[in-house]
Amino acid sequence: MTWGLGANVADEDRMAELYALHAPGAARLAYLLTSDRQLAEDLLQDAFVRMMRRYHDLRNPSSFDAYLRKTVVNLARKHFRRRRLERAHLERERGRVPAEPEVRDVETRDAMWTALGALPTRQRVALVLRYYEDLSEKETADMLGISNAAVRSLVQRGIAALRREGVTRT
């Protein structure tokens, strides 16, 4: 496995170590953000490729995990933004009103995952980072590039939506 033209055996060993250490957590984060195992795996691979290209340029290589998480979140957001734009374009081309969002198969999926997956992307990302990744409000705000107040608002609205669906305690 060669990461680049200048990669040597020591670099490849280090990259393999980083992958073994950080891939499970990054894969879990990607899955929680997307509710799609294949998409999560694609995002994980894309994130690692991007990180490997920039590894020697990282200001603090010991923060690889944080950089990787941020890359996964950004790639997920980019994916959903691109998908939303593609749908809007197709709807304009067809001259129709956008269809209702895809209905989740409640019989085969846990109610929480369904409700979480139905949340707006920003709310889902904020909830996943705060509660599944156990990041502080400040860490979540830094990762998303927004204020602490915006994180609080996104989390509160997300929890309220989950309560309306009956999947959280009141």
**CA 166, CA 170: separation in Å to the nearest integer?**
8
Indicate if 39 and 111 belong to the same structural domain.
Answer: no
Please check whether residues 112 and 74 belong to one and the same domain: no
- Domain co-membership, 18 together with 89: yes
Quick one: pLDDT at residue 101? 43
Q: Which residues, at least 6 apart from 132, have a Cβ–Cβ distance to it below 8 Å?
A: 28, 29, 32
Residue with tokens 């749908």: 87
Instruction: Please name the residue that has the structure tokens 């996943």.
Output: 128
What's the CATH code of the domain at 167?
A: 1.10.10.10
Task: Name the token pair of 76.
Answer: 């997920």
Q: Provide the number of structural domains found in the chain.
A: 2
Range of the domain at 49: 1-99
Best CA proximity match to 52, nearest among 20, 105, 80, 15: 15
Two tokens, residue 123: 């709310």
Segment 1-40, tens digit of pLDDT: 444 445 566 767 878 888 899 999 999 999 999 999 999 9
Interatomic CA distance for residues 158 and 160, integer angstroms: 5
Per-residue confidence of the chain (170 residues) as pLDDT tens digits?
444 445 566 767 878 888 899 999 999 999 999 999 999 999 999 999 888 887 777 777 678 888 899 999 999 999 999 988 888 877 777 765 444 444 444 443 467 788 888 899 999 999 999 988 889 999 999 999 999 999 999 999 999 998 888 776 54
Last residue of a domain, one of 99, 122, 155: 99
